[in-house]
């Protein structure tokens, strides 16, 4: 099978070819971006301090910029006039709420206590990561895996609403109340307000979502749907991956020295994270197939369940426990493991798509 690519003009064809090449070696680019970030953070004196200082309201501006650039092209591809078909899919909506807000935090809580019973700071940091459900980077994993873009937009919006409402409550339950009930020792309390969580959601989802919606609305009005999708979207498409790579470099540069100077601690934190991502993704993928969802919505459900909002988790850990705390290190190790694991799962997902049918990839290379 060959890639689906715009054929209206030679310019569009060249852009599609560029996208195809970029996607074909995406795993390599991501590994290089991670290595570059770790190297910068380790070798350039004061690099992480400079990057950490460029923030407003606890939000890192370089990371915010990278995520906005990453998310905008994907959200500009969403056909917002089709969202009703997603919200009417009760199987998808209920499954998403269950796996994200019941299963996900519970699985991470259990794994944190199983793997890190003697390291309370790292354990708390992992639980915070489990509470922060994905609202940002999942859109690009979903798009690369040829998931349902409209479903992804609806599910990340749903996660955002629940994140504002439920994050503090679940933090109290899993860090303070439940450990006491189970006789596991003294609990922790999170120093985070609903307003701070809402600001995080607005910055990392609201802004690119509004920009994508307005671009789609105005672009279709001026160009028509065919010209908008075949002419304009291929031109901005590569910027999603450029934004992803930029974000990865900045993120790992922020904590490069810490990560490389504590390899054993990183390994201890990484093991439960690997198990978590595997359980959540494969379990949710199996759930989607079991309840009869098509491939594209099953992939969307799996990636939204397995991904986490590392921006929020890191911000909460730093604000509550300090930038040099073990909780903050757990938050930073989260994307260190999540990024390569989920990009690998993109390829696993594509390999399984033939068992479902559904739409074929437009930007990810296909097998011959």
Q: Which residues is 164 bridged to in the sheet?
A: none
- Parent domain of 110: 10-355
Euclidean distance between CA atoms 32 and 52, whole angstroms: 22
Q: Which residues is 56 bridged to in the sheet?
A: 59
With b meaning 16 or more CB within 10 Å and e meaning fewer, what string describes 86-125? beebeebbebbeebbbebbbebbbbbbbebbeebbbbbbb
Confirm if 269 and 51 have CB atoms less than 8 A apart: no
Asked whether residue 5 is assigned to any structural domain, the reply reads: no
The domain spanning residue 117 has which CATH number? 1.20.1530.20
Q: In three state form, how does the secondary structure of 208-225 look?
A: HHHHHHHHHHHHHHHHCH
> Residue 101: its pLDDT value, please?
93
Nearest CA among 7, 150, 38, 162 for reference residue 86? 150
> Residue 366: its pLDDT value, please?
37
Nearest CA among 340, 346, 2, 324 for reference residue 143? 346
Q: CA-CA distances (angstroms) from residue 146 to 51, 103, 298, 349? A: 34, 25, 10, 9
- Chain-centre distance for alpha carbon 276: 14
φ, ψ of residue 60 in degrees (nearest 5): -70, 120
Q: CA-CA distances (angstroms) from residue 233 to 15, 185, 238? A: 10, 54, 9
Q: Which residues is 308 bridged to in the sheet?
A: 133
pTM equals 0.76
Torsion of CA 324, 274, 32, 203, to 10 degrees: -60
Asked whether residue 72 is assigned to any structural domain, the reply reads: yes
Asked whether residue 366 is assigned to any structural domain, the reply reads: no
Residue 184 gets which letter from DSSP? Answer: -
> Residue 300: its pLDDT value, please?
94
Structure-token pair, residue 10: 């030679």
If phi > 0 it is left, if psi is from -120 to 50 it is alpha, else beta; for residue 251 that is alpha
Asked whether residue 4 is assigned to any structural domain, the reply reads: no
Total number of domains in the chain: 1
Structure-token pair, residue 217: 């609305």
Q: Kindly give the confidence (pLDDT) of every residue in the chain, 368 residues in length, as a single tens digit, with 9 standing for 90 and above.
A: 333 433 334 333 433 344 456 666 676 887 888 888 888 877 777 776 676 677 765 567 787 788 788 878 878 888 887 777 778 888 999 999 999 999 999 999 999 999 999 888 999 999 999 998 887 778 888 888 889 988 988 888 888 888 888 888 888 889 888 888 888 776 666 666 667 777 777 777 778 888 888 998 999 889 998 898 888 988 887 887 888 888 888 877 876 777 777 788 889 999 999 999 999 999 999 999 999 999 999 999 999 999 888 777 877 777 677 666 788 888 878 877 888 898 889 989 988 887 765 444 444 433 33
Asked whether residue 58 is assigned to any structural domain, the reply reads: yes
Asked whether residue 169 is assigned to any structural domain, the reply reads: yes
Euclidean distance between CA atoms 195 and 86, whole angstroms: 29
Asked whether residue 363 is assigned to any structural domain, the reply reads: no
Asked whether residue 332 is assigned to any structural domain, the reply reads: yes
Confirm if 77 and 139 have CB atoms less than 8 A apart: no
Q: Which residue has the tokens 């060959």?
A: 2
């Amino acid at each position: 099978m060959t890639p689906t690519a715009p054929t209206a003009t030679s310019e569009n064809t060249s852009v599609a070819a560029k996208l195809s090449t970029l996607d074909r070696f995406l795993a390599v680019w991501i590994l290089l971006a991670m290595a570059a970030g770790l190297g910068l953070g380790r070798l350039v004196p004061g690099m992480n301090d400079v990057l950490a200082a460029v923030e407003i309201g606890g939000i890192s501006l370089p990371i915010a910029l990278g995520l906005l650039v990453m998310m905008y092209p994907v959200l500009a591809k969403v056909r917002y006039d089709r969202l009703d078909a997603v919200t009417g899919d009760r199987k998808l909506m209920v499954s998403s709420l269950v796996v994200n807000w019941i299963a996900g935090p519970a699985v991470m809580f259990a794994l944190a206590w199983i793997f890190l019973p003697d390291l309370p700071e790292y354990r708390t940091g992992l639980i915070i990561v489990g509470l922060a459900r994905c609202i940002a980077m999942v859109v690009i994993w979903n798009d690369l895996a040829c998931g349902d873009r409209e479903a992804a937009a609806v599910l990340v919006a749903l996660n955002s609403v629940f994140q504002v409402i439920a994050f503090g409550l679940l933090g109290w339950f899993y860090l303070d109340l439940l450990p006491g009930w189970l006789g596991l020792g003294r609990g922790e309390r999170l120093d985070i307000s609903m307003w701070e969580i809402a600001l995080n959601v607005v910055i990392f989802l609201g802004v690119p979502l509004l920009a994508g919606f307005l671009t789609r609305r105005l672009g279709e009005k001026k160009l028509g749907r065919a010209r908008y999708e075949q002419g304009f979207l291929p031109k901005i498409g590569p910027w999603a991956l450029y934004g992803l790579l930029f974000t990865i470099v900045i993120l790992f540069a922020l904590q490069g020295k810490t990560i490389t100077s504590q390899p054993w601690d990183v390994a201890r934190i990484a093991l439960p994270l690997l198990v978590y991502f595997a359980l959540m993704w494969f379990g949710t993928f199996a759930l989607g197939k079991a309840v009869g969802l098509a491939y594209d919505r099953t992939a969307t459900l799996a990636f939204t369940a397995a991904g986490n909002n590392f921006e929020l988790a890191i911000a909460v850990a730093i604000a509550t426990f300090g930038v040099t705390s073990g909780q903050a290190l757990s938050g930073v190790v989260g994307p260190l493991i999540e990024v390569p694991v989920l990009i690998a799962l993109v390829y696993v997902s594509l390999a399984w798509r033939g068992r479902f049918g559904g739409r074929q990839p437009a930007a990810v290379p296909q097998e011959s």
